[in-house]
Amino acid sequence: MTKLLCKEDYLNEIAQSRDRRMAWWREARFGMFIHYGLYSQIGRNEWAMVLENIPVKEYEHLADTFAPAPGAPREWAKLAKRAGMKYMVMTTRHHEGFSLWDSQANPYNSVNFGPRRDLVREFVDACREFDLRIGFYSSLMDWHHPDGWRCAFDSEARRRFNRYIEDLNTELLTNYGKIDILWFDVARPMETAEGWNSLAMNQRLRALQPDIIINDRSYLPEDFSTPEEHITPVDHDWEACMTFNGISWGYVDSTQSAPYAYNAQRILKMLNTCAKNGGNLLLNIGPTPDGGVPPEAVAPLSTVGDWLQANGRAAYGPMTKEAKMYGNGGSDITHAGQSVFLWYWLWPATGEMSVGGYMNAPKAVRLLQDGSPIEFTHDGHRITLKNLPKAPPDQTAGVTVVELVFDGDPGYVFASRYPQLHGGKAYETDGRIA
C-alpha cells in the first residue's frame, strides 16, 4: 500500500528525482506521437464523435470494423527510428474510450472487438525492437463510459469513474514491463486535481514505475509542460507536441492533407527552436485506418533522419538555453558546451558570410557534417566566414550547420544595433557598453 504524501511533499519528492528520471528525455529531444483508434476509420479528426455528435451506439460499430494490419506498430517504430526520434508516445485509449489493449477494466477494447489483438503489446514490442523509449498517452476524458460525464456532478459517479481511470492506468503500468512516459490528456469534465484524485492516483502509479515521467495534464505540474501546436519555451522542462499538418491528430485523408503537411525543412526549424530553448519536439503521425504510416510523413521524416545522422550533435543532448543568441538572420543557433552551431536555412552564394555579437574569437570553425575547416576572421564582435562553397554543403535537406568552437564562453552580446565598437566593446541597445 503506497503511503500517500500531501501535495507539497509529493511535488518536492518528485522534484528531487527529476534530474535522474529526466536525463534521457532531456537528451532525446525528438519523439513520435501516434494517434490511432476507431476514429482513424472516420478520417475526419479524432474528435469526430463529439464534433459530429455521433451517438454512442452508432459509434460503437466502428469497433467491429477496426482492422489494423499485422505489424502496423512495428512500421511506426521503424519510421520513428529512421527519423532520428528517440522515443514514442501512443494513444492507448483516446477520448472515444476504446482501449487498445487487453483491458479487464474496460471490455470495450481491441482484444474483445475488431482485430482481437493487444495493440499496446505490439507497440511496446516494436519500441523495444528499435531501442525507442516508450510513452503511453492516456485520456482522462471518456465519451463512452456512462460516468464519463456524470462524474462532474454526481459524487458516486465520480468515485466510480476515478476508480475506472486509475484501474486503466494501473493495467498499463503493470502489464507491459518498463514504461518511460505517462502522457495524460484532457482532464474533463472535472476541472481540478481533487476532482481527478490525481494526487493519490499519480503517487500509486509512480509506485508501479519509479522511473516514469508524467506530463502536466492531470492538474498537477508533474515533470514537464506540454505546449500544443505551438513551440513556446518555459523555464522548466517542456515538450511541444505538434500535428503533422496543423489540422488533426488522428488520420485525415492524405491526398487532401498532404499540402498542409510539414516538409523536412519545417521539421528542422521546429527542432532547432526546441533544442535552442532546451525543450523537446513530439511530432505526431495519424496512422491510416489499417494502421499504415500516412504517406505524406515518410519522405520528410526520412530526410530529417538522414540529416540528423550527420548533424545530430547540433540537436541532441544537453543544450545551453539561448533565447537571446542568434545566427545571421538566415540562420539560427544551438549552443552545446563550447560549440555554437549555426543552422543555415539560407546559404549565401557570395562565398562569405558574417555573424555578429560574438565578442570572443572561436578557436576553430568547421562544417559539422564532415568536420572540414572553414576559414574565418574575427573583428570586434564580428565573425566572418570566408571562401565558402557557393552551394549549400548539406545536400540532404539544404540546411548546413557550421560549428563555431570556442575556448570557453562565446562572449555573446545580443547583436548590437550599432555595429560601431566603443573602445573594443559593443553598444547595448540601451546605450550601455557591454
Enumerate residues 47-86 that contact ligand GLC by CB under 6 A: 47
User: Per CB under 6 A, does 46 bind ligand GLC?
Assistant: yes
Query: In the stretch 2-41, what mask flags binding to ligand GLC with x, by CB under 6 A?
Result: ---------------------------------x------
Q: Select 260 or 414, whichever has its Cβ closest to ligand GLC.
A: 260
As beta bridge partners, residue 334 has 341
**CA angle, 299 as apex, 295 and 302 as ends, to 5°?**
125
User: Per CB under 6 A, does 299 bind ligand GLC?
Assistant: no
Of 104, 100, 125, the C-alpha closest to 114 is 100
As beta bridge partners, residue 87 has 31, 133
The DSSP line for 244-292 is: SSSS-SS-B-HHHHGGGS--HHHHHHHHHHHHHTT-EEEEEE---TTSP
Q: Select 35 or 145, whichever has its Cβ closest to ligand GLC.
A: 35
Residue 186 CB, shortest distance to ligand GLC, in Å, is: 5
User: Per CB under 6 A, does 349 bind ligand GLC?
Assistant: no
Identify the residue among 10, 196, 249, 376 touching ligand GLC (CB under 6 A): 249
Residue 394 CB, shortest distance to ligand GLC, in Å, is: 32
User: Per CB under 6 A, does 228 bind ligand GLC?
Assistant: yes
Q: Please give the backbone phi and psi of residue 111, each rounded to the nearest 5 degrees, phi first.
A: -95, -30
ω before 189 within 30° of 0 (cis)?
A: yes
DSSP 52: T
Query: How many residues make contact with ligand GLC (CB under 6 A)?
Result: 8
Q: Select 14 or 241, whichever has its Cβ closest to ligand GLC.
A: 241
Of 225, 249, 253, the C-alpha closest to 238 is 225
The H-or-E segment that residue 412 falls in is none
The DSSP line for 102-143 is: --SS-SSBTTTSTT-S-HHHHHHHHHHHTT-EEEEEEES--S
Identify the residue among 134, 201, 231, 241 touching ligand GLC (CB under 6 A): 241
User: Per CB under 6 A, does 185 bind ligand GLC?
Assistant: yes
As beta bridge partners, residue 336 has 339
User: Per CB under 6 A, does 193 bind ligand GLC?
Assistant: no
User: Per CB under 6 A, does 186 bind ligand GLC?
Assistant: yes
User: Per CB under 6 A, does 122 bind ligand GLC?
Assistant: no
Q: Please give the backbone phi and psi of residue 145, each rounded to the nearest 5 degrees, phi first.
A: -70, 130
Q: Select 46 or 403, whichever has its Cβ closest to ligand GLC.
A: 46
Residue 350 CB, shortest distance to ligand GLC, in Å, is: 44
User: Per CB under 6 A, does 322 bind ligand GLC?
Assistant: no
Residue with cell 540546411: 399
Q: Select 30 or 316, whichever has its Cβ closest to ligand GLC.
A: 30
Query: In the stretch 194-223, what mask flags binding to ligand GLC with x, by CB under 6 A?
Result: ------------------------------
d(CA 20, CA 399): 34
Q: Which residues bind ligand GLC (CB under 6 A)?
A: 35, 46-47, 185-186, 228, 241, 249
